[in-house]
Amino acid sequence: MKDTRLAALKKDVAEKSAAFHARASKPVNNDSRIPDEGYCANPRRTSIKERDSENKRNARTKAGLTEHTEHPKEVAGEIGLDWQHQPKFKTTQELKEYRAAQNLSDLKALEPNVGNLKDTEQRLNAREMCYLRMQ
């Protein structure tokens, strides 16, 4: 009885091994299951990050900025007391006059906004009046 069980076990193992090798020896189909319809051979972008960076560059260009962000300290250079060949301002008095004129022009640009501040209630009332006039 022991011999018959051992023979049946060996036979079963041999059958299962032969079935496995028959399946494993077949070539595997590596074709994509996704149809090629709607796909292009050379896409303009290959990742979402590329799309997002393009959108950021376009938004900065539309706002009148440079394509890439620049750190102001890197653009301005290092502050120092080094000798400059042709400085923009030769004296401290010229620098102060330039800054005063610049501040004055900035204030004049902001002058139309003075007194035009509306709080939330005023804005809502103006909107409601606009709706009433439209009806």
pLDDT tens, position by position, 17-48? 988 888 777 776 766 666 666 777 788 888 89
Question: Residue 46's pLDDT is what?
Answer: 85
> What's the predicted TM-score (pTM) here?
0.31
Count Cα neighbours of 110 within 13 Å in the Cβ-side half-sphere.
7
Look-up: residue for tokens 């193992």?
13
For 80: left if phi > 0, alpha if psi spans -120 to 50, otherwise beta; the answer is: beta
Gyration radius (Cα) of the chain, Å: 39
- 102: which residues sit within 8 A by CB, 6+ positions away? none
